[in-house]
């Protein structure tokens, strides 16, 4: 018996290596694109606010979310965050424009409670209820 024959070369191996290299490059490009897309989206958000502020300077300003919450709370009975959201919706607020309206409302209620503008009762149920301070 003679020496072992060397392993026959696989003609597909170079193609496989090329494809793996291309995939690695494409994934790197995707990462760079995803980063850039995030930066552009953030820039659009900032620029949109600037444009809206500039456009709205000549017309009366709408109340912000905090102002609308204050308006709903004025003279109200005890309300949950969900009831406040529903009242805001009835006032014409576009709830869909907010990523997480409950988080926004709860942060506002927390601030208004700390400042003493509203009363907070977290003993009546699992979730706190709020009301405007009696006049």
pLDDT in tens, 59-101: 444 568 998 999 898 878 899 999 999 999 998 888 888 899 9
User: Which carries the bigger pLDDT value, residue 8 or residue 91?
Assistant: 91
CA distance 112 to 66: 9
Q: Report pLDDT digits (tens) over 107-135.
A: 999 999 999 999 998 886 678 999 888 76
**pTM: predicted TM-score of the whole model, two decimal places:** 0.52
Q: How long, in residues, is the chain? A: 135
Q: List C-alpha distances in Å: 55 to 42, 59, 61, 63, 81.
A: 20, 8, 10, 16, 32
- Sequence-separated (6 or more) residues with CB below 8 Å from residue 13: none
65-132 CATH fold: Arc Repressor Mutant, subunit A (1.10.10)
What's the rounded Cα separation, in Å, for the pair 73 and 77? 8
Element housing 53 (H / E): helix 13-56
């Amino acid at each position: 018996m003679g020496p072992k024959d060397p392993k026959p070369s696989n003609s597909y191996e170079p193609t496989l290596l090329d494809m793996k290299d291309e995939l690695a490059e494409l994934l790197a490009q995707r990462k760079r694109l995803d980063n850039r897309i995030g930066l552009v989206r953030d820039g659009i958000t900032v620029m949109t606010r600037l444009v809206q502020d500039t456009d709205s300077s000549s017309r009366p300003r709408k109340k912000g979310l905090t102002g609308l919450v204050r308006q709903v709370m004025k003279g109200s009975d005890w309300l949950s965050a969900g009831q406040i959201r529903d009242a805001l919706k009835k006032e014409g607020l576009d709830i869909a424009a907010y990523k997480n309206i409950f988080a926004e409302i709860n942060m506002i209620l927390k601030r208004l409670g700390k400042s003493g503008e509203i009363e907070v009762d977290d003993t009546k149920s699992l979730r706190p209820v709020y009301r405007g301070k009696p006049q």
